[in-house]
């Protein structure tokens, strides 16, 4: 804030990564680079793979019905599939889409955008990937700084719109968990599943359920949601529902970083699990009622 | 009696350097005690600002082993003494001498923030009525002791020297305490966006980490203010709603 006096004469700024800190300040940013970086690479591999998103290809007398969260909601099946997954919204891929565009590429923008614009992740990846700053009281690589005042980072302010989408995704993923309780009977001659199914629980069902709970804990602890349900008001005591929601979101928000990482890991691992099942490399353990 | 080597920055606005002092310390002593011992026994002209020695006046802010901290609240037994302990003045403010910095910029900034503007009194005797639940949120911000460690660690001030454009975490906390107060009627959002440049904050949470009063600066003050600024300037749907519901009525 301009105060009409001569600029302050400060000690020279420290160079990139220069600091007097003696603790292992680099561990946090390094873990972010490794964790977030590995997830980004894996997510891109899966988006462009455009296959192995559904584990329902049997071979035994019962087939699982797991859909990976990376492809949910499934807009369309891969055309070459021998039989449809039963999860696809459209019967076939729209003709105007280029060949390399997978169903995941069209929907992942929403959860990815939600995480990318998340207040916690912003602080973490600005440090880890942009060194702005590399960590608290550690020198930076650039002297210029624009922050989130101008393009492109002013666009981070659309976080609440990604939140609206993320709330819908909780419902979609919950539906996937419900369908993961279905185990289809497999025709022993053709090896293809029949229409008949039984209710059961498998490792995949549990993983998908844990995943949606963790995603909900992360999403429902969002800073923007906290603002929208009550934080925007100066007086909340006369709105008991708003006060209750504000307190609940605040409770989750206190551990927002924890939920952010746990849900990221669970999404990644659930996807790997379904991917392995779909490739026939792992076998699901389940029982039916 | 254990001993430690203190590397204390000594100099003035024109420059300076680190000087090493070896000193004994007793159990329970804090860094400020050892600095005083050095001052008494080895460097009588060492300048250090202090007052309460209880973590409540915010005078003895400095950087200990590179981290902004209160010298009076940093116990010696929490620091590794197998190597020198560095003690230097805050980076984000001009040095007056040795460990003493000129923090008057903060007072000038504070004067430019719109003061508390309560609504008309609720009762004929000129008093107001408010619920504890409503005022609870801003009470956290009143714990601030104005040590300015949050200002010191904020890279926008510390590394980018944006003192002319950015008010820093301390004054976002101060603004939040006013802006979220149930009785207040003033609107500070335009100032927070423009003159205060809240958009410069990129949520590193460094201010929260160094706060000796454990105020959740980022989560409870800065981000809620950023969200209010989004309501006002960056949310097209909100703008549409505002055509029918004015902001004050909504709050």
DSSP labels for A80-139? T-SS--S--SSSS--TTS-TT--HHHHHTHHHHHHHHT-HHHHHHHHHHHH-TTSSTT--
Range of the domain at B145: 104-244
A189 or A36: whose pLDDT is higher?
A36
Q: What is the DSSP string of A167-231?
A: HHHHHHHHHHHHHTTEEEEE-TTT--EEEEEEEEEEHHHHHHHHHHHHHHHHHTT-HHHHIIIII
Model confidence over A32-77: pLDDT tens digits?
999 999 999 999 999 999 889 998 765 568 889 999 999 999 999 8
> Which residues span the domain enclosing A228?
27-288
Query: Can you give the pLDDT at residue A57?
Result: 62
Biggest distance spanned by C-alpha atoms of chain B: 72
Contacts of B236 (CB under 8 A, 6+ apart): none
Shared domain for B71 and B135, answered yes or no, is no
Give the residue from B42, B68, B101 where a domain finishes: B101
Q: Which residues of B touch A227 (CB under 8 A)?
A: 223-224, 227-228, 231
CA distance A259 to A114: 14
Residue A13 lies in a domain: no
Which ipTM value was assigned to this complex? Answer: 0.93
Query: How far is residue B174's CA from residue B177's CA, in Å, rounded to a whole number?
Result: 5
Calculate the average pLDDT of chain A: 92
**Last-in-domain residue among B70, B101, B132:** B101
CB contact A13 to B (< 8 Å): yes
What is the DSSP secondary structure assignment for residue B105, as one 8-state letter? H
Is residue A114 one of the residues assigned to a domain? yes
pLDDT at B246: 72
Same domain? For B118 and B215 the reply is: yes
Instruction: Provide the sign of the torsion angle of the four alpha carbons A19, A25, A27, A32, taken in this order.
Output: negative
Contact criterion met (CB < 8 Å) for B210 and A136: yes
What number is the average pLDDT over the span A72-84?
Answer: 80
Q: What is the pLDDT of residue B248?
A: 58
CB atoms near residue A35 (< 10 Å): 16
State which of B60, B84, B101 marks the end of a domain.
B101
Query: Residue ranges of chain B with pLDDT lower than 50?
Result: none
Residue of A nearest to B89 (CA): A11
Measure in Å the smallest separation between the Cα of B123 and chain A Cα atoms.
18
The distance of B72 to chain A (nearest Cα, Å) reads 19
Residue B209 pairs in a beta bridge with none
Same domain, B68 and B155: no
**Residues B129 and B14 placed together within one structural domain of the fold:** no
Q: Any idea which residue has 């696809």 for tokens?
A: A88
- Residue in the structure block whose two tokens are 């006013």: B178
**Is residue B139 in a domain?**
yes
User: Residue B100 has what pLDDT?
Assistant: 98
Q: Whose CA is closest to A18, among A116, A137, A118?
A: A137
Q: What does pTM read for this prediction?
A: 0.94
Q: A5: distance to nearest CA of chain B, Å?
A: 9
| Touching B: A residues 18-37, CB under 8 Å | 19-23
Q: Does residue B184 belong to any structural domain of this protein?
A: yes
Residues B82 and B138 in one domain: no
Task: Give the whole-angstrom CA distance, residue A37 versus residue A207.
Answer: 23
Sign, CA torsion A160/A165/A166/A171: positive
Distance from CA of B237 to the nearest CA of A (A): 10
Q: Do B156 and A145 touch (CB under 8 A)?
A: yes
> Is B46 inside any structural domain?
yes
Domain membership flag for residue A45: yes
Residue B251 maps to a domain = no
- Search chain A and give the residue with CA nearest B235: A158
**Residue A84, pLDDT above cutoff 90:** no
B201: CATH:
1.10.1060.10
Residues B67 and B48 in one domain: yes
The total number of structural domains that make up chain A: 1
Residue A12, chain B, CB below 8 Å: the answer is no
Residue B198 and residue B146 share a domain:
yes
What confidence tier does A190 reach under pLDDT thresholds 50, 70, 90?
A: confident
> Would you give the DSSP letter of residue B231?
I
**Preferred mutation among B103, B156, B159, B184 to probe A, highest tally of A CBs within 10 A:** B159
pLDDT at B136: 93
Report the share of chain A in percent with pLDDT over 90.
77
Same domain, B35 and B133: no
Min distance B145 CA to chain A CA atoms (Å) = 21
Q: What is the pLDDT of residues A137-155, one digit of tens each?
A: 999 999 899 999 999 999 9
Q: Is the pLDDT of residue A5 over 80?
A: no
| Cβ separation B160–A139 shorter than 8 A | no
Residues 106-125 of A with CB under 8 A from B: 119-120, 122-123
Q: How confident is the model at residue A189 (pLDDT cuts 50, 70, 90)?
A: confident
pLDDT of residue A22: 94
Q: Which residues of A touch B182 (CB under 8 A)?
A: 234-235
Listed in sequence order, the residues at least 6 apart from B39 whose beta carbon sits closer than 8 Å to its beta carbon are: B46, B48
Q: How many domains does chain B have?
A: 2
**Minimum distance, in Å, between the CA of residue A278 and any CA atom of chain B:** 40
Q: Is residue A260 part of a domain?
A: yes
Whole-angstrom Cα distance, residue A207 to residue A272?
A: 11
* Facing residue for A122 by CB, picked from B89, B93, B203: B203
Residue B249 domain-assigned?
no
Q: Burial code of A70-94, b = ≥16 C-beta within 10 A, e = fewer?
A: bbbbbbbbbeeeeeebbbbeeeebe
Do residues B74 and B139 both lie within one domain?
no
Distances (CA, A) of A123 to A119, A216, A254: 6, 21, 15
Q: Are residues B160 and B172 in the same domain?
A: yes
Token pair of A231 as six digits: 């934080």
Given a cut of 60, is residue A128 above it in pLDDT? yes
Q: Are residues B91 and B109 in the same domain?
A: no
| Residues B89 and B95 sit within 8 Å (Cβ to Cβ) | yes
**pLDDT tens-digit profile of A206-221?**
999 999 999 999 999 9
B82 and B190 belong to one structural domain: no
The answer to whether residue A95 is domain-embedded is yes
């Amino acid at each position: 804030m301009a105060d009409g006096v001569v600029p302050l004469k400060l000690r020279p700024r420290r160079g990139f990564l220069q600091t007097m800190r003696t603790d292992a300040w680099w561990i946090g940013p390094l873990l972010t680079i490794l964790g977030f970086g590995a997830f980004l690479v894996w997510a891109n591999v899966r988006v462009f793979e455009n296959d192995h998103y559904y584990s329902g290809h049997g071979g035994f007398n019962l087939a699982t019905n797991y859909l990976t969260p990376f492809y949910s909601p499934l807009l369309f099946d891969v055309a070459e599939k021998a039989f449809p997954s039963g999860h696809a919204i459209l019967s076939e891929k729209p003709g105007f889409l280029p060949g390399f565009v997978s169903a995941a590429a069209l929907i992942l923008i929403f959860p990815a955008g939600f995480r990318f614009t998340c207040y916690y992740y912003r602080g973490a990846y600005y440090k880890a990937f942009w060194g702005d700053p590399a960590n608290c009281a550690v020198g930076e690589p650039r002297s210029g700084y624009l922050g989130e005042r101008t393009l492109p980072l002013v666009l981070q302010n659309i976080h609440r719109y990604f939140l609206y989408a993320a709330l819908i995704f909780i419902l979609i993923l919950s539906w996937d968990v419900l369908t993961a309780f279905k185990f289809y009977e497999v025709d022993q001659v053709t090896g293809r599943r029949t229409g008949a199914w039984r209710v059961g629980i498998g490792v995949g069902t549990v993983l998908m359920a844990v995943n949606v709970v963790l995603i909900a804990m992360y999403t429902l602890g969002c800073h923007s949601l906290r603002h929208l349900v009550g934080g925007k008001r100066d007086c909340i005591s006369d709105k008991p529902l708003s006060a209750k929601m504000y307190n609940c979101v605040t409770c989750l928000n206190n551990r927002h970083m924890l939920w952010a990482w746990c849900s990221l890991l669970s999404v990644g691992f659930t996807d790997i699990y379904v991917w392995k099942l779909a490739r026939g490399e792992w076998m699901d353990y389940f029982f039916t009622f | 009696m254990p001993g430690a080597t203190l590397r204390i920055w000594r100099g003035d606005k024109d420059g300076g350097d680190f000087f090493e002092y070896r000193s004994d310390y007793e159990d329970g002593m804090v860094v400020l005690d050892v600095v005083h011992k050095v001052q008494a026994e080895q460097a009588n002209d060492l300048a250090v600002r202090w007052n309460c020695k209880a973590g409540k006046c915010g005078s003895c802010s400095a950087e200990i082993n590179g981290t902004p901290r209160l010298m009076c609240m940093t116990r010696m037994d929490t620091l590794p003494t197998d190597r020198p302990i560095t003690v230097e003045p805050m980076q984000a403010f001009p040095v007056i001498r040795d460990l003493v910095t000129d923090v008057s910029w903060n007072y000038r900034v504070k004067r430019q923030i719109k003061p508390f503007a309560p609504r008309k009194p609720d009762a004929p005797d000129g008093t107001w009525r408010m619920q504890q639940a409503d005022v609870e949120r801003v009470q956290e911000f009143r714990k601030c002791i104005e040590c300015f460690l949050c200002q010191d660690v904020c890279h926008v001030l510390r590394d980018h020297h944006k003192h002319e454009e950015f008010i820093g975490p301390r004054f976002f906390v101060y603004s939040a305490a006013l802006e979220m107060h149930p009785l207040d009627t003033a609107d500070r959002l335009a100032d927070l966006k423009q003159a205060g440049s809240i958009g410069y904050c990129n949520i590193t949470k460094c201010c929260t980490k160094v706060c000796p009063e454990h105020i959740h600066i980022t989560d409870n003050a800065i981000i809620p203010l950023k969200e209010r600024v989004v309501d006002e300037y960056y949310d097209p749907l909100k703008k549409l709603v505002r055509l029918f519901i004015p902001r004050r009525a909504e709050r």
